[in-house]
Amino acid sequence: MEWSQGYLESAVRVEWQDISGAILSLAEALDQPIVLYCRSGHRSGKAKMILENMGFTRVVNGGSLAETEEFLNSACCI
């Protein structure tokens, strides 16, 4: 339902429970910037912990879609 209400242009939809398997085909390197978001930031926070435990070093929990858009528009780098 959330996805149908809007998403970032370059977003890839992955359920947080499936992130460890999906990331292996999406990320090119452990230091690749990754920004996660969901409706409230709770599930993206869980996914962030999983990715960090896998060794990814540049993972950001953007929070909600609106918060993530604001972050990406104001951030110089991740």
This prediction's pTM: 0.85
Q: Would you state the pLDDT for residue 59?
A: 96
- Mean pLDDT over the full length of the chain: 90
- Identify how many contiguous H helices and E strands the chain contains and give both numbers: 3, 2
46 versus 65: the higher-pLDDT residue is 46
Q: Would you state the pLDDT for residue 1?
A: 66
Beta strands in 1-78 (DSSP E): 34-37, 59-63
Closest CA to 37 of 24, 76, 25, 78: 78
Contact at 8 Å (CB) between 62 and 37? yes
Q: Would you state the pLDDT for residue 71?
A: 85
Rg (CA), the chain: 12
Q: In the structure, what pLDDT confidence band is assigned to residue 5 with cuts at 50, 70 and 90?
A: confident
Contact at 8 Å (CB) between 34 and 41? no
